[in-house]
């Protein structure tokens, strides 16, 4: 049986819940509600077992203006909160962990400063630190997905493994927020080349895509981050978690 965790995503900008098409704040920015804490509590009520929070202000401006909101989210739900955005140093990592974050997602820092990434990994442990790979046409994208590097995503994933990472969040940037369907092949390749745990992010448009992930990524993907499709009610939320956790996916 192939069970996997459904992780709702909450994107935060200027203290508000925001969903962003392709992860670019300037493009089709759409507000889906004012209070991220309320949103977190809604997902908890819907039986989510973890929440994924993205801080766009921290990612783009290294701003800490949403940190009070992040702390409140951590204090308001009893489930783990995973956080990504703007981690540029060990000090940033420590400050975020002190807010109550359970798992920290690190992208650009791991690429640009591997030694600092290893320091963070060794201090908090690989179960608390997750490496993120944003992918554009099989190449690694960093700095808020604005800078595409001349390195293949599969090769970079192996480097992350060598640094000590045990889990990778794989995002196909071109499908992220577009609900075009998940890029299962990309996640499968990275899982095969590294043997690491993989979380798929991007492209989930509804229930059929969850079935696709289940069927096409057996023994590769154990969790899926979903954003826009949940906010736009593309499937009954309760049904997602019941199906994912009750063994109906046989």
pLDDT per position as a tens digit, 56-106: 999 989 999 999 999 999 999 999 999 999 999 999 999 999 999 999 999
pTM (predicted TM-score): 0.88
Six-digit token string for 156: 């970079």
From the list 55, 134, 172, 209, the catalytic residue is 134
For the chain, the domain total comes to: 1
From the list 11, 55, 172, 209, the catalytic residue is 11
Range of the domain at 124: 5-246
Count how many residues are written for the chain. 250
Grouping H, G, I as helix, E, B as strand and the rest as coil, residue 101 is coil
Identify the CATH number of the domain in which residue 10 sits: 3.20.20.70
pLDDT tens digit string along 107-131?
Answer: 999 999 999 999 999 999 999 999 9
**Would you call 134 a catalytic residue per the annotation?**
yes
- How far apart CA 104 and CA 213 sit, in angstroms, is 24
Grouping H, G, I as helix, E, B as strand and the rest as coil, residue 176 is coil
Query: What are the helix and strand counts (H, E) for the chain?
Result: 11, 12
If pLDDT is split at 50, 70 and 90, which confidence band does 50 have? very high
Does residue 240 surpass a pLDDT of 90? no
**Would you call 68 a catalytic residue per the annotation?**
no
């Amino acid at each position: 049986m192939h069970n996997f965790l459904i992780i709702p995503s909450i994107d935060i900008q200027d203290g508000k819940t925001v969903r962003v098409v392709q992860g670019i704040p300037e493009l089709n920015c759409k507000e889906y509600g004012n209070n991220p804490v309320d949103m977190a509590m809604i997902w908890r009520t819907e039986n989510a077992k973890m929440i994924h929070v993205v801080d766009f202000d921290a990612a783009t401006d290294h701003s800490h203006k949403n940190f009070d909101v992040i702390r409140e989210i951590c204090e308001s739900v009893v489930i783990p909160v995973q956080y990504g955005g703007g981690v540029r140093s060990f000090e940033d990592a420590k400050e975020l962990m002190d807010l109550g974050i359970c798992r920290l997602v690190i992208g650009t820092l791991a690429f640009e400063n591997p030694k600092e990434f290893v320091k963070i990994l060794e201090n908090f442990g690989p179960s608390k630190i997750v490496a993120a790979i944003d992918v554009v046409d099989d190449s690694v994208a960093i700095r808020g997905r604005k800078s595409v590097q001349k390195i293949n995503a599969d090769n970079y994933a192996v480097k992350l493994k060598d640094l000590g990472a045990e889990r990778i969040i794989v995002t196909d940037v071109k499908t992220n927020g577009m609900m075009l369907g998940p890029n299962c092949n990309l996640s499968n390749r990275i899982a095969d080349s590294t043997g690491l745990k993989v979380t798929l992010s991007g492209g989930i448009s509804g229930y059929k895509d969850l079935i696709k992930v289940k069927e096409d990524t057996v023994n590769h993907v154990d969790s899926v981050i979903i954003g826009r499709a949940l906010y736009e009610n593309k499937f009954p939320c309760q049904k997602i978690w019941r199906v994912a956790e009750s063994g109906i996916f046989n």
